[in-house]
Amino acid sequence: MAVKLIVGLGNPGPKYQWTRHNAGFMVLDRLSYLAGIAVSKKSFSGLCGEGNWLGEKLILLKPQTFMNLSGRSAAEAIRFHKLSPHDLIVIHDDLDIPFGRVKLKQGGGHAGHNGLRSLTQELGSGDFIRVRIGIGRPVHGDVVNYVLNNFPPEELTALPRLLDGVVDLLEMLAKEGLPKTMSLYNNRDLI
Catalytic residues: 21
- Which H or E run contains 106? strand 102-106
Strands 56-63 and 46-53: antiparallel
The C-alpha atoms of residue 159 and residue 191 are separated, in whole angstroms, by: 8
- What is the Cα–Cα distance from 179 to 171, expressed in whole angstroms? 14
Q: Are 69 and 7 in contact (CB under 8 A)?
A: no
Angle between helices 153-176 and 178-185 (to 10 degrees): 150
Give dist(CA 100, CA 175) in Å, integer.
23
Among the listed residues 59, 132, 125, the one whose alpha carbon sits nearest the alpha carbon of residue 91? 132
